Amino acid sequence: MTIVGADSSQPDLDEGHLGRENYGWIKEAFSGEKFKVFALHHHLVPIPLAGRENTVLVDAGDVLDLLNKCRVNLVLCGHCHIPHVWNLNNMLVVNAGTFCSSKTRGKTTQCFNLIQAESSKENGKRKAEKIENSGWKVRISRVFPQGNIELVTETVM
């Protein structure tokens, strides 16, 4: 598994930005065939019920294109306190809610995402149940303070 994090914040501004100067090292970090995770603070796409869209990266289109070309499996972000999952061209874009802040939006409550990624390969060989695509089964659940767990999505990538 390859996990890459990037700082999308800008001093004294709400909107985020990665910048073309970072695209090269991001692309290089994602070379290879492992399960690929990209993490940043700001959103790549607007979030339903957020009430505003200035939390989307200024260069979101370019970043989405880069991550798609790198065949990234999972993107983690969460500037707004609204949990949501998008499946964009077999790339899951997972927005976090908030676990402890009382600043919730969109009729949500505190929660966090539980993400499980299971390879269908053992020691370089396929398991008997053969999972197609890249061989990763991803399950995303939402966990609430009361202990309730809600399945959000389960997909094979």
Query: Distance between CA atoms of 31 and 109, rounded to whole angstroms?
Result: 38
> Can you list the domains of the chain with their CATH numbers?
2-156 (3.30.750.180)
Element holding 27 (H helix, E strand): helix 23-29
Predicted local confidence at residue 106, as pLDDT: 59
Q: How far is CA 101 from the centre of its chain?
A: 20
pLDDT-based confidence at 53, cuts 50/70/90?
Answer: low
Q: Full-prediction pTM beyond 0.85?
A: no
So what's the pLDDT on residue 131?
A: 44
CB 39 within 8 A of CB 28: no
Residue 94: helix, strand or coil by DSSP?
strand
pLDDT band (50, 70, 90) for residue 130: very low
